[in-house]
Amino acid sequence: MNNDKEQWKDEVMNSLDGIHRAEAPDFMFTRIVGRLESAMNEPVSSYIPVKRAWVAIACFILLCVCDIGFLKAINHSGLNNTHEARGSSPYAIENTNFNLY
Amino acid sequence: MKISNLISLIAKGNEKAFATLYDTYKNRVFNTVLGYVQNREEAEEVAQDVFIEVFRSCTNFKGESSESTWIYRIAINKSLDHLRHKRRKKRFAFLQSLFNADTGALQHDVPHFEHPGILLENKDKAAILFKAIDTLPESQKTAYILSFVEDLSGKEVAEVMNLSPKAVESLLQRAKAGLRNELEKYYPERRKLK
């Protein structure tokens, strides 16, 4: 079974033996020259595809939403921490014992 | 006429020189590109891009490497760019298919590819090998295609990839190991081939 598999792999790996170069399609040169000529005659434009513009806008909005959400989360947890520090922390009470008069 | 002379003539806009250069390299470029993109129509488009790039950047050719190395590098870069672009499109198609209940299926799946230069008795096995080649990392893929599809020598491959022959040899070893590993997936298909 294993030998069979290895032999099959060898056959597949050797399947490129004797390969010939693929030939370029006819009239490719004519098409290249055509493309070169049309590129030379075309005015240079700064056109941005509509799809790309929408993706950029969507990414920007998503980034803003994430930022706002993140800032809100930080503010909320920050406030909670200060409440804790003022009120219920055992260290706050104990510190009064070390006040200097 | 020497190729280096041709390039300086092309840089001056000589169309005949460009035609001669095209005739010299058209099959090498097309065959290399076809090894990467594995689709005849797409390979033609990429090969056209390669020659357009050659025409445009002739003025920048400094002769630091041989002309064939330079043209091969352009062909490889264009092919890899094309594959990256295709992969991006595939990812986008996946996202679209999540929202499009009509199709459900993924677009741009890798189709069955038959290289036109393969011997008839090897066609089916080579098609499986090309599927496996498509999964290799870029540098291993380049070393493998240049060595076994384009049939360049180790020295030539090293020159094109700007690596030492030893580094190319190591890339080929890893590529072969990777391919054998990938072929495990296709082993059950062997019965269909017999």
Q: How confident is the model at residue B107 (pLDDT cuts 50, 70, 90)?
A: very low
* CA-only gyration radius of chain A, Å: 35
* Pair B162, B48: CB distance under 8 Å: no
pLDDT, averaged across chain B: 88
Q: What is the pLDDT of residue B16?
A: 92
Phi, psi torsion values for B65, nearest 5 degrees: -120, 170
| B73-102 average pLDDT score | 83
Q: What is the ipTM of this complex?
A: 0.81
| Nearest residue of chain A to residue B50 (CA atoms) | A32
| Min Cα separation A57/chain B (Å) | 17
- Residues of chain A positioned with their CB less than 8 A from the CB of B68: none
Tell me whether residues B22 and A32 touch, CB distance under 8 A. yes
Residues A9-63: tens digit of each pLDDT: 999 999 999 999 999 999 999 999 999 999 888 766 666 778 888 899 999 999 9
Question: How far is C-alpha B175 from the chain's CA centre?
Answer: 15
| Min Cα separation B56/chain A (Å) | 9
Q: What is the pLDDT of residue A64?
A: 93
Domain architecture of chain B: domains with CATH: 1-111 (1.10.1740.10), 112-194 (1.10.10.10)
Locate B114 and state its tokens: 């038959």
